[in-house]
Structure 1
Amino acid sequence: MIEFINVDKTYGKSVKALQQINLKIEKGEFVAVIGLSGAGKSTLIRCINRMHDITSGSLVVDGIEVGELRGKEIRKFRRRIGMIFQSFHLVTRTTVFKNVLVSFVPELPFWRKVTGIFSKEWKLKALTALDQVGILDKAYVRVDQLSGGQQQRVALARTLAQNPDILLADEPIASLDPVTSKQVMDDFKRINQQMDISVIMNIHHVEVALEYAERIIGVREGQIVYDGPSQEVTDEILDYIYKGRKEGMTAEVYGEGAYV
């Protein structure tokens, strides 16, 4: 589904955000990307939907060379990839229902964009998405009356209404309390398993990443330093990802297929 081949990303003339990334993510995987702030985690996932352009190498999503897309092709491609942000990006002065309906705006004929009239089919899709994340009862409540966790679920419902193949999440629980974080992560896990949607998540909460993701990618200074099953991640591996220490590390510790 997603393949990075010798990908580099440089900001300006000298800031190397990503260096020689070689990575393949199959359909239906739940992947957590971990590492220090500034390590390149957000850049990695934002290259997938062309929020950032790679500097060199090749990035292929379901057979499509992402870097070759232009204009309307990029917009069409992004419809297949949902993106969840830490800051929710909701219109707080209107209802939950209308926020989810916004996901259909790019597909609307001009007259519907002007009038704001949505078809019965789109309304049903929006309500179904709200039901999938457990907040159908909040459909006609203003967003600014919801808790942070409920607002994140609205953002998730808005993305699900697009019927995406891939779900990218950039620190989705960073501003949530532990109880609410668990509820949101349960939503991600259920969506991943029941809808077979690939989930790639940039996350600072290591213990949460290990609990929910089946695969961990460790990034340090723009490079992948670990790639393997979550159950094989040890304290030594975490020390290497976050501190660059590998005293006592062996090939067996990293596990098959991991990067050193």
Structure 2
Amino acid sequence: MIIVEHLAKRVGPEQTPVLRDIGFRMDSGELIGLLGVSGSGKTTLLRCLALREKWDKGNFRVDGTDILQGGLGGRTKIRREWAFLEQNEELNRNRTALKNVLIGQAAQTPLWRRLTGMVRSDDYMGAMDELERLGLLDKSRMKLGQLSGGERQRVAIARALVHGAKVILADEPVTGLDPKSAQSVIETLRELCKETGLSVIAVVPLELAERFATRLWVLDNGIIKHDVTGRRLTSQERAGLL
């Protein structure tokens, strides 16, 4: 259970309010499509939840742990169990898909492993299992630069899962992909939520959000204006999105 109350965030030298009063409850297995016009605060919200941005105020509890007031333990929980996939995910195009999955992000991987590239056999098998689950087993030995955009996004998802992610925050994970690849990535996330209990909040195009998300948030004027189960939005709910 994830509980956020009264999240507020100001940005820039003029301290412009971007998030005013964000609140929600989220259970495991949900795929939330985060919608809103450019500048509505979608990326800022994801960065705040990933603790990449400092909150101005608000309460943040995960499975009973007070993240903001709980000291190092709460923040460590987010670093270990939450993965933030940025729009241009930092993957090494000169490493193989398997190596990218194994090395992971700095917060998730011991320094010695990042420097040496050495891995345990259990880690190797876990990485291969996730690549197989995501349909990339035959691409595991290929360098990332040889893979398509959709395949690279699935490598990023596999990396998050191998390193223990229970929540994925994905900022426009299908931007720049062709329609078929974009749908494949979102379908993969939906299946993972259903099969493993993974929770996902993703900024995705409206048509994909309506088809695959289990829940839709429309962000407007610093609040979640609409919070509905996954379906086609009404004309009133769509107002301002198109």
SS of 1:210's partner is: helix
Distance 1:38 1:116, change over 3 A: same
Gaps of 5+ in 1: 244-260
Gaps of 5+ in 2: none
- Give the superposition deviation at 1:178: 0.2
- Give the superposition deviation at 1:222: 1.5
Please show how residues 200-239 of structure 1 align to structure 2 within 5 Å: 200-203=201-204, 205-231=205-231, 233-239=233-239
- Give the superposition deviation at 1:121: 0.6
Across the aligned residues of Structure 1 and Structure 2, the Cα RMSD in angstroms comes to: 2.1
Equivalent pairs, count: 241
Tell me, in whole angstroms, the C-alpha distance in 2 between the residues paired with 1:22 and 1:108: 32
Normalising by structure 2, what TM-score?
0.91
- Give the superposition deviation at 1:103: 2.1
Tell me, in whole angstroms, the C-alpha distance in 2 between the residues paired with 1:20 and 1:107: 31
SS of 2:241's partner is: helix
Larger radius of gyration: 1
The question of whether the paired residues in 2 share the 8 Å contact of 1:101 and 1:123 is answered with yes
Please show how residues 45-60 of structure 1 align to structure 2 within 5 Å: 45-60=46-61
The percent identity for this pair of structures is 31
Q: Deviation per CA, 1:155-193: give whole Å up to 9, x if none.
A: 111111112211111100111110111111111111010
Partner of 2:68: 67
Please show how residues 110-129 of structure 1 align to structure 2 within 5 Å: 111-129=112-130
Distance 1:32 1:140, change over 3 A: same
The question of whether the paired residues in 2 share the 8 Å contact of 1:104 and 1:122 is answered with no
Please show how residues 17-166 of structure 1 align to structure 2 within 5 Å: 17-68=18-69, 70=71, 74-103=75-104, 111-166=112-167
Q: Deviation per CA, 1:100-158: give whole Å up to 9, x if none.
A: 01128656666545432211011111111111110011111111111111111111111
SS of 1:5's partner is: strand
Report the residue type matching 1:201 in the other structure.
A
Partner of 1:257: none
The question of whether the paired residues in 2 share the 8 Å contact of 1:210 and 1:230 is answered with yes
